Structure 1
Amino acid sequence: MTILKDSTNQIGGKTRVFNWVWQDQTYRIMYEVREEGSPVLLLPAFSTVSTRAEMQGIAEQLTPHFQVIAMDWLGFGQSARPALNYQPALYRQLLQDFLRTQFDQPVAVVAAGHAAGYAMQVALQTPCPWSKMVLVAPTWKGPLRVMGAPTPVRDAVRELVRSPGVGQALYTLNTAPAFLKFMYRQHVYVDANKLTPEFMQQKYDITQQPGARYAPAAFVTGTLDPMQSHEEFLQIGRSLSVPTMVIIGEKSPGQSKAEMEALAELPGIQSSRTPGSLGLHEEYASEVTAIVLPFLRA
């Protein structure tokens, strides 16, 4: 473990490095630790602009009560961005190895978007690594899959974006600040007034790191979907034995919201609804934390 200068922090904590070994290669995984006490792991949503910084609001409000740890996924945020063939197995193993090396007892987790799907899968391990699980706007289908694009088309898009030259040009077009703002207004944020030039510049900067296009290309095309069907999503939900809370944004896109509602209706799963859409963990951090805190402290 390496501790870095605070200039690299995202949630106001101490930045550290987890040197993760995958298929005989070592990759730098950035994470942050804030305060002391019983630990809570924060997992940001997968997206083109995924970073642990989106969990800052929740982290700030949890730290008086818990030690907060937030991680950047491989290929996203400040973690390494190698030109790998990103697949769900990679992220499941990363999460399992991070938990095994960082915690000696079950830990509470707050996971957003696709990260919630991975948290659900890892919860099926014996023993379960989670003490409690909060799933914020849980999703399992990438954007192109939600749009109904067939597998050959999605695979072709992924490989095109990964290719040199043309791929970088296409990625550049799809990460321009104007396009990012359009996507945020469509299904990430509810209040367009919060999408200030400064906010969008921060999101744009995330996309401009070396190797930034590889993991997002896999996410957008559905390659990183943790589950492959609605039935699998619900079957895993039915198998959960850990206390689980599902938080649903009232303005979430219809298809995604229907999946969240179906999960929330399963026996044994608690649920709550707040303002917001798929980015509610960042946009409505106070409202989310107001739900999370009593659940974690109970």
Structure 2
Amino acid sequence: MVEPAHATRTLNLDVAGRRVPTPCDVVGHGPEALLLPALSSISARSEMRALAKDLGHDHRCLVPDWPGFGDQPRARVPMNPGTLHAFLDALLAAAPGPYALGIAAGHAAGYLVAAARKDPRRFGRLILIAPTWRGPLPTALGPERQGLFRALRRAVEAPFLGDVLYRINISPPVIGRMMRAHVYADPAHVTPGVIADKHAITRQPGGRFGTAAFVTGGLDPVSTREAFLDLFTGALPPIRVLRPERAPRRSGAEMDALVATGRVVKETIPGALSPHEEYAGEVAAAIRAAA
């Protein structure tokens, strides 16, 4: 099958008082689809590329990088939820759709749903892939250690020392262990080439600031499960949650709590926290089956 057309465009968005050049992949043709990559230490729009190529046979997919993330030098903006909400508002003003599909992975889910609440007519359907709302350290250690999280974030953001700490914690061996532990479901998929590509993403200038914010919970769109579930009340487009079979226990419990509200429809897919990358074909099939 012939691959759909693929181009890259840059949107210059005004976010938090800064002009933020935002590279976006544009893949395929047909009804518009917005694909938002997850937020993580190794986040970049490239993680959505295989999924966009599959969906691009019947959709025109727009895939942006989040500010503070991606495979290019990072714009220095305040790394907090307000900035990411403002970014998505600016993106949707510059590329208003309407979108037949709004697709978000991981932490992007809460931001996409918040944007859809502002104008539900902008999206025909929302697809949330392994949706999360709580960063890695708060998930692993509990919210009562906020003081520790703030101290760790300040340390990684500090000149000189911060760069050393960051390099240690995003070395290829650490990235490989992280991916095998909870990002990919099949350790055999974590090849040296995959690790090298992810390490290259982390080495972009300014990369430590987005990572420090995300890992310590500084980019969590909400602070409690109740607040996350409340995002799904009121007028919204139909929402389907793609729940990976091998999601980590704590993250999977949050996905199951959302499904239990009855406000979304669940579809089980293979994978862990990055099924859109590891099992792009299966994820695309699940999205098409939900049409």
TM-score bracket, normalised by the shorter chain, equals: over 0.9
What is the CA deviation profile of residues 218-258 of structure 1, one whole-angstrom value per residue up to 9, with x for unaligned ones?
Answer: 00000000111000111112335211000111111111101
What is the CA deviation profile of residues 64-100 of structure 1, one whole-angstrom value per residue up to 9, with x for unaligned ones?
Answer: 1111111110111135513333110111111111112
| 1:234 maps onto 2:229 in alignment | yes
Aligned to 1:34: 27
Q: CA deviation at 1:117?
A: 1.1
Aligned to 2:287: 292
Aligned to 2:163: 168
Q: Is the 8 A contact 2:18 2:77 kept in 1?
A: no
| 1:133 maps onto 2:126 in alignment | yes
Aligned to 1:258: 253
| 1:148 maps onto 2:141 in alignment | yes
RMSD: 1.6
Structure 2: give runs of 5+ residues left out of the alignment. Answer: none
Q: Give the 3-state SS of the residue equivalent to 1:289 in structure 2.
A: helix
| 1:123 maps onto 2:116 in alignment | yes
Which residue identity lines up with residue 148 of structure 1 in the other structure? L
When the two structures are superposed, what TM-score results if normalisation uses the length of structure 2? 0.94
Which residue identity lines up with residue 123 of structure 1 in the other structure? A
Q: Is the 8 A contact 1:84 1:214 kept in 2?
A: no
| 1:88 maps onto 2:85 in alignment | no
- How many Å separate the matches in 2 of 1:106 and 1:82? 27
Which residue identity lines up with residue 126 of structure 1 in the other structure? D
Which residue identity lines up with residue 27 of structure 2 in the other structure? R
When the two structures are superposed, what TM-score results if normalisation uses the length of structure 1? 0.92
Residue-pair matches, total: 286
Structure 1 residues 240 and 54: alpha-carbon distance in aligned structure 2, compared to 1, 3 A threshold: farther
What is the CA deviation profile of residues 254-281 of structure 1, one whole-angstrom value per residue up to 9, with x for unaligned ones?
Answer: 1110110111122241111112111111
Q: Give the 3-state SS of the residue equivalent to 2:11 in structure 1.
A: strand
Which residue identity lines up with residue 267 of structure 2 in the other structure? S
- How many Å separate the matches in 2 of 1:12 and 1:49? 26
Matches within 5 A, 1:65-76: 65-76=58-69
Aligned to 2:186: 191
Structure 1: give runs of 5+ residues left out of the alignment. Answer: 1-10
- Farther off after superposition, 95-104 or 152-161: 95-104
- How many Å separate the matches in 2 of 1:272 and 1:49? 26
Structure 1 residues 104 and 207: alpha-carbon distance in aligned structure 2, compared to 1, 3 A threshold: closer
Q: Find 1:277's aligned residue among 264, 268, 272.
A: 272
Q: Give the 3-state SS of the residue equivalent to 2:141 in structure 1.
A: coil
